[in-house]
Structure formats: C-alpha cells, structure tokens
C-alpha cells in the first residue's frame, strides 16, 4: 500500500505556498443565476472545500458570448465581482487559496444561450459534433461563425477585462482554460482550425491566439499567479490534431518560457483509458516541462501520491471526489471512506448534492 504522505507536503507554486497537494479541479455545477452571477450558496460550497491546497473555480465565462451552458457563472460585470468577492472572502477566512478559471467556450454553445440569439464563435465555421446543456436539456451545439481579426481583438480585450474583474473579486490568481475543446483549443488544433490567415496553418500560427491571450492576462496578473490548463489527448468536444507532439510541445515550452505558476494537464477523461501510444505521448511531453506540473484525470490518493513520489507531478487536481467530499484532504490523509457522489445532482439544482455532503465528523 502506497504511503500517501507525499500528498500532504507543502509546496511552492508560483507566488503561493500550498498547504497540501490535494487540489480542487474546476467543476461545472450549473448553479449560477441566469445572468452569470454566482448565487449566495456558492460561498458555502467553496468554503467547505477550503482545505484543498488550491481551489480552481468552476469554469467562468469571460463574456456573455463566451457562455456555453445553462446557469454557469461569469466574471465580466460588477455584479459578478460582488458575488465572487463573497466566495473568495469565505475561502480566505478558512485559510484557503482560490484561482478563477477564465473560460470562453467558443463553438460549444447554442444560440439560445447567447445575447440576442447570436451564433457562437470559433476559429473556423465548423459545427461541433457535440451537445450542450440549455433550458431544454441537452441540445446539439449551434453552427459557429469564424472570428475575424476585430473579433479576435475584442475577445482578447474580454480576457483583460475578466482578469481585472477576477483581481477585484479577490482571487489569488487565474487559470487560462485552453483545454477540452473550448475556444483556445479550437484555435490550437487543426481538426477545427482551418484558417488561412496568421492564426491558422502552421503550429506557430495556431498557437498565436493562446499566446496573445496569455500576454493579455499577464498584463494584469504576475506570471506566478497565472496557470494554464491543456488537454493534449483531445478527447473532448470533437477535437483532433494531426501533429500533437509538435503542437503541444510548443505549448508546454511556451508555458515554461513565461514562467507561469503551473501547467494543469488533463491526462485522461472519464471512460477513456490511455492506450500505450497515449502514455508514451504524454510521457514525452511531460519530460520537456520543468515547471510546476499539476496532473488531472482519474487519480486517487495512492496513485496521486505515487505520481508525486516518482516526480511525474508536483500536485494532483481532483474533480468528482471533491463534489461528494468537502474534506477530501483529511479523508485521504486518514484513509477514511469517501462519500459516494450522486450524479443526478451534479448539474443544476440547489443545496442537494452541492452543500449537503457530510464531513467526516458529522
């Protein structure tokens, strides 16, 4: 049996010192008001989980056009800031650290979710073979339009605004969401990006948008307060890439060059086992990144500790285990049983399946 003590060694990450290496991954819960303002109950939810070494907020859209799912939160208006400030204050009151994940879904959206029924935007006008969650339940995504240069400039300005708003809201840092087939990923991967301008074609061109977004965020936050999330295996939202080792090698090198607080890597998705080829690919990428590496994807306490002991990861982000176990670090530390998550309450609703999971001592 693996000794899990490695999970509970403090570690320096960028400008922060984490009390442990059991980190809370972003978890979409669809419990915000329709205008993107988090509800008051979210402060209790996040405060309950403040014993995580780091909390990364649920994906939070940078603009009204960045929304892709019903009742997800935003970080682009004063009302958003006021509501998030209650949440960050609640986390800090318990000694926690919380980053805001900056999100633009791109083509993974539906006209019913966007202002005045607008079409979603993407790198190219290619509809995703995917669904999203609307007022009518799960629906096929709408056909997007390709962002022109003025639209790209406006989107980058939205990242600046959202970064400033996140700072006003009291977050300790931000995470750039470049994973899981959302807008930045749609520029990165050539299965979607069919552009013929300076944002398409070569790897240099396809990484341009990510790099411009990162520079924009870094105009507001210090490098040691900015993380980046990527998913090199491309197993979400109808993504594909012809030269993944070249593309993501470039992305990893850039994150290291910018001295970001961390690189957050989705190594696997629920229901998708890594093939030997996938394992070799991910290992090759990992070996070239010398910064703080946060691993995500199917880890438990033992495999997470193993990854740290074997220098594969500096910390592990846990998703679903944190839904049902607000005191997950303590449970892992003591070897206690875990609460079982109720998947029927993952998305939408009120306190049931959100703030009512019991702690060990209750």
Count, residues in the chain: 362
Task: Confirm if 86 and 45 have CB atoms less than 8 A apart.
Answer: no
- Of 182, 199, 299, 332, which residue is the catalytic one? 182
CA separation for the pair 187, 123 (Å, rounded): 5
**Active site annotation includes 347:** no
Q: Please state the three-class secondary structure of 11-66 as a single string.
A: EEECCEEECCCEEECCCCCCCCCCCCCCCCHHHHHHHHCCCCCCEECCCEECCHHH
Helix, strand or coil, per DSSP, at residue 315: strand
Residue given tokens 């979409």 in the structure block? 28
CA separation for the pair 184, 152 (Å, rounded): 11
Nearest alpha carbon to residue 176 among 129, 211, 140, 130: 211
Per-residue CA distances from 218 to 283, 316, 333 (Å):
29, 24, 36
| Eight-state DSSP code of residue 232 | T
CA separation for the pair 192, 84 (Å, rounded): 33
Residues forming the active site: 182
């Amino acid at each position: 049996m693996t000794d899990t003590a490695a999970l509970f060694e403090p570690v320096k990450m960028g400008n922060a010192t984490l009390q442990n290496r059991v980190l809370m991954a972003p978890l979409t819960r669809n419990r915000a008001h329709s205008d993107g303002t988090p509800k008051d109950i979210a402060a209790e939810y996040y405060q309950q989980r403040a014993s995580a070494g780091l909390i990364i907020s649920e994906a939070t859209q940078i603009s009204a056009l960045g929304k892709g799912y019903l009742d997800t939160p935003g970080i682009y208006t004063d009302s958003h800031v006021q509501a998030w400030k209650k949440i960050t204050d609640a986390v800090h009151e318990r000694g926690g650290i919380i980053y805001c994940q900056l999100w633009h879904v791109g083509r993974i959206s539906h006209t019913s979710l966007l202002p005045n029924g607008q079409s979603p935007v993407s790198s190219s006008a290619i509809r995703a073979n995917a669904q999203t969650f609307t007022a009518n339940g799960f629906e096929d995504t709408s056909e997007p339009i390709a962002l022109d240069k003025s639209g790209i400039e406006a989107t980058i300005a939205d990242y600046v605004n959202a970064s400033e708003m996140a700072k006003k809201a009291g977050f300790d840092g931000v995470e750039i969401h470049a994973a899981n087939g959302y807008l930045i990923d749609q520029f990165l991967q050539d299965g979607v990006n069919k552009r013929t301008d300076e944002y398409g074609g070569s790897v240099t061109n396809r990484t341009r948008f990510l790099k411009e977004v990162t520079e924009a965020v870094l105009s507001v936050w210090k490098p040691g307060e900015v993380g980046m999330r990527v998913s090199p295996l491309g197993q979400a939202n109808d993504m594909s890439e012809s030269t993944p080792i070249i593309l993501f090698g470039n992305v990893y090198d850039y994150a290291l060059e910018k001295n970001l607080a961390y690189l957050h890597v989705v190594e696997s998705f629920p229901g998708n086992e890594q093939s030997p080829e996938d394992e070799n690919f991910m290992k090759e990428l990992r070996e070239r990144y010398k910064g703080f590496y946060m691993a995500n994807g199917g880890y438990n306490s033992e495999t997470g500790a193993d990854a740290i002991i074997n220098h594969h990861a500096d910390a592990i982000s846990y998703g679903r285990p944190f839904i049902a176990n607000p005191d997950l670090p303590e449970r892992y530390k003591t070897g206690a049983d875990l609460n079982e998550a109720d998947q029927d309450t993952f998305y939408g609703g009120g306190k049931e399946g959100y703030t009512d999971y019991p702690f060990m001592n209750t």
